[in-house]
Structure 1
Amino acid sequence: MDLNLCLYAQLTSAALKRRSSAEGSLAPPSKQTKLWETRRVSQASVDKVVLEFVVQGLHPPHIVQQQGFIDLLQHLQPNTNVMTRNTLVNKVTKASVEMKTKLKAALSEIEFIATTTDCWTAHRRSFIGVTAHWFNPQTMQRSCAALACKQLKGSHTFSALAGALNDIHTEFNVREKIVRTTTDNGSNFLKAFRVYGQMDDVGEGDGEEDDGGQNDDYDEEEESVEGVEFVDAGALLDKDDYLEYQLPKHHRCACHLLNLVSTVDASKAEVNPLYKRVSRSTFAKCSSLWTKSSRSITASEVIEEHCKLQLIRPVATRWNSFFSAVERIVRITREQGEGALAAVCSELDTPK
């Protein structure tokens, strides 16, 4: 054992001597190698990365003018020019045009397309979004792409929605390829497709709710006989269509329908007087907490301090939001105990 240890020590000592002599023969580096000296990138590459950073992160164009962003880029790549805001906007516009051209080329080879659409209001502006869905005929892989997210001017009337959809379908040359368009059950969407859309053989318009007249800017009073203007019927028959817009067949969103069905069925449970009293008392307390947490920063801080979680406020148009809101309260009670919510109610002066 001692012989082995001595032999190992000798070999180790010899190896260390050879290593030190070898290192001594090498000249020490004059300076530390820097990242930008080992790899140089072109200005075009830098501009491309900046463009992708702004687009993927949805950053405002003026971020390229912030001194912190300029210092970061020039620290990583010295002597690199940072594009101006106007240059960035022009590049984004050019990239969007190129992407739209490629998307049109891809859709031109697809025979059948389905679309989904919705409209909403955010920050006092109205928008409409349209997404296309299709199967690759060779690989049978499902694909989708956003066709548009454009601002809507004025009210969300059925004619305004029909015009916006017709323009988007025409722009991408898919109007004749769309087999179905799926929307929610808003009365403006239902009337748009009832008036301008293709009808199923069964009669899809049966049973659809009307909009109560609030979107009837298209309807006009019938003129008197004296004001009738006679036109040539043959000229009308020669036209491609007889309506201002042409929309595809309509399909109601199944998830939205199930949400409406479940809401109606749940309300029928209140036929029982005992359940109705307990239900309304319980959810009135929950609603008080939900309202406080959404309207007051102080209330949100109190809830997070005692419950370690924030409450979820239910939204009528967001599916399963009511279930998620109640589930969050149950989770807080299970993890933090009933005393946590009791303390919140006491501090916020809400019913316990």
Structure 2
Amino acid sequence: MTEKYGKNHPKVVAMKNAVTKWMVESLHPFTLVEEPGLLKVLEIADSRISLPSAKTFSRTLVPELFEKTVAKMKCILESEKPTLQALSITTDMWTSVNTTSYLAVTVHYVTKDFALTSYCLGCKAVMESHTGEVIRRELRNILTEWGLLGTKVLYCVTDNAANMRSAVTLMPDITQLFCFAHTLNLMIKDTKKEYSGFDKMRHKCKSIVEHFRHSAIARANLHKRLKQLGMRELELVQNVETRWNSEYLMMERLCELKDALVIELSQPGCRIDNLTSMEWGLVDSYVKVLKPIYEATLQVSSDKKPTRSMIIPILFGIESRIKTVIENKQQGSTLAKTLLKSLRSRFPMYMEDQLNLICMFLDPRFKFHILEEPQKKIILQKLETEIFASIKEVPVGRLEESAIKNITTSATSQLFSIFENSSCQRIQTNKRTLELQGKLQLEAYTNEPRITINDDPFQWWQDNRFKYELISPLAQKYLGIPATEVASERVFSSAGNVITNRRTRLLPENAETLVFLHQNLKSLDV
């Protein structure tokens, strides 16, 4: 019999660490290490290696990895805090299949090198009623644990629920922002409530989809019909009540497969009601009018690019598209009128939202592209004020160097000739000089050509951060603010794969640990 390695042998330690990470990254249960299949693989790879029990992984190895990960994250956050301009968090509540409620909190910021960074700070079980005070207390505890309260400008993105509104209102050191995607969803709900016959049509659509998804014979006949008609053999999309996008995708797919569906639903023995011609028209109108909103929700759910800067351009584009449909009396104009009314109700005066206007201006994809002169002046004045307030914190040496460069290249008036001489003598860095430099940088940035919508704004700022060193801290501050709470929803997607019907007895503290590790390990070298 082959002698086993000791528990501290390098190969055993390496294997334990690898299996622990694999377990949390791939959301495997602790009992994975007792599966005969895995044990057989290990025996073939090296029969001298033996893994600890599932209990050892759950009580020792995973908690140890958790502590290392927390320490690593705290070290990173502490080292980056001095150069950060602002922090943003998202938060939301979720109830698992075993009826335990969890509060997710994620943090987002842009580093001095313009890397968009985010972490999951926690997915904590909440055993009390979800009142605003309880949520406030839990949220404050999490932020305090990570040392994030009272250090930087702090924004918090939540949904529109009353308890979330109340919780953040009770925290005066945090600026509350509402999830853009959630408000878009509410806008669509408003529209559907006012549109006659929509609920009946949607119910029939769901019944059609369920019929073909639950009946193997019906599905096979549909695919046969698609092939006969020379159409792509696509599957129908099922609606998920909590996700508006899934309803849109369901109806979009029904429109794509309409010809084959109409034939199959008219076959003898089919007990599912087909849509009337008027209902098919409503489905088509729904897809056509709401497509820009569907595309918008995808854009603002990105975790790679700025998203709050997109809110005004997106709303402007949606409103313009809706008006075109109405003015040209295109198909769906009745639905478009209802949607326009809802948009103006949910997003009143959106073109005057100063935070979103600043974010848009600092995004080199947009700047002042759709703004009128009065709005431009307001934003520039606001940014000048912020620049003047922060000038004293900028290193003098770099300011002098760029002041010479900006003034000699940007100024044409003789007024500034006194700042030049043949030897480029040191400029006296008084407040007036620096304020002038800030104005010149804002003017130069405004006149820079916009980059394309597919370009990376963070890469642009990384390349130009020294050229616009008085503006770049503002870009770092504002471009990291999320438009949505999608990051928290992603945490719950992971949590739903951890706490399943087969793992309902998983302790809340173990669930918290597993979700935290799953969300953060991919971006940390632990």
Q: Same fold judged by TM-score > 0.5?
A: yes
Contact 1:113 1:179 in 2 (8 A): yes
Residues of 2 paired with 1:67 and 1:51: CA distance? 17
Is 1:259 matched with 2:185?
A: yes
What's the counterpart of residue 338 of structure 1? 262
1:351 aligns to what?
273
In 1, distance between residues paired with 2:215 and 2:10?
48
1:88-140 deviation per Cα after TM superposition (whole angstroms, max 9, x unaligned): 22111011111111111211232421001111112022111111001111x11
For the Cα contact (< 8 Å) 1:114–1:134, is it kept in 2? Answer: yes
Q: Matched residues in 2 for 1:150 and 1:61: separation?
A: 20
Q: 1:306 to 1:114 in 2, by over 3 A?
A: farther
When residues 333 and 248 of structure 1 are mapped into structure 2, their CA distance, relative to the original with a 3 A threshold, is same
The answer to whether the 8 A contact 2:213-2:236 is kept is no
Whether the aligned pair in 1 keeps the contact of 2:236 and 2:250 (CA below 8 Å) is: no
> Are 1:82 and 2:78 matched, yes or no?
no
User: Which of these residues, 286, 300, 311, is aligned with residue 205 of structure 2?
Assistant: 286
TM-score (norm 2): 0.44
The Cα offsets for residues 289-331 of structure 1, whole Å up to 9 and x where unpaired, read as 45x56xxx9835455434452432142x424232112112223
Is the 2:30–2:57 Cα contact (8 Å) retained in structure 1? yes
- Alignment partner of 1:320 is 2:245: yes
Deviation at 1:73, TM superposition (A): 1.2
Identity of aligned residues (%): 23
Call closer, same or farther: CA 1:342–1:103 in 2, change over 3 Å.
Answer: farther
Question: Which residue of structure 1 lines up, in the alignment, with residue 36 of structure 2?
Answer: 67
The aligned runs of 1:158-307 (5 Å cut-off) are 158-176=132-150, 177=152, 179-194=154-169, 196-198=170-172, 248-268=174-194, 270=195, 276-277=196-197, 279=198, 281-289=200-208, 292=210, 299=214, 301=216, 304-307=219-222
Separation (CA, whole Å) in 2 of partners of 1:346 and 1:147: 55
TM-score (normalised: structure 1): 0.63
Q: Which amino acid aligns with 1:326?
A: M
Partners of 1:312 and 1:328 within 8 A in 2: no
Query: Which AA in structure 2 matches 1:313?
Result: N
The alpha-carbon deviation at position 351 of structure 1 amounts to 2.1
Hey, what does 1:102 align to over in structure 2?
A: 72
The verdict on how the C-alpha distance between 1:44 and 1:131 changes in structure 2, with shifts beyond 3 A counting, is: same
Deviation of 1:342 (Å): 4.5
Question: Quick check: 1:306–1:341 contact (8 Å CA) kept in 2?
Answer: no
Shift of 1:280: 5.0
Q: Measure how far apart 1:144 and its partner are.
A: 0.4
CA gap 1:88/1:284 in 2 versus in 1, 3 angstroms: closer
Task: Give the number of the structure whose alpha-carbon radius of gyration is greater.
Answer: 1
Post-superposition shift, 1:283? Answer: 2.6
Q: CA deviation at 1:338?
A: 2.5
RMSD: 2.7
Amino acid across the alignment from 2:252: E
Q: CA deviation at 1:332?
A: 3.0
Aligned pairs, how many? 248
**1:142 is the counterpart of 2:66:** no
**1:156 match: secondary structure:** coil
Distance (whole Å) between structure 2 residues aligned to residue 307 and residue 186 of structure 1: 42
Q: Aligned residue for 1:329?
A: 254
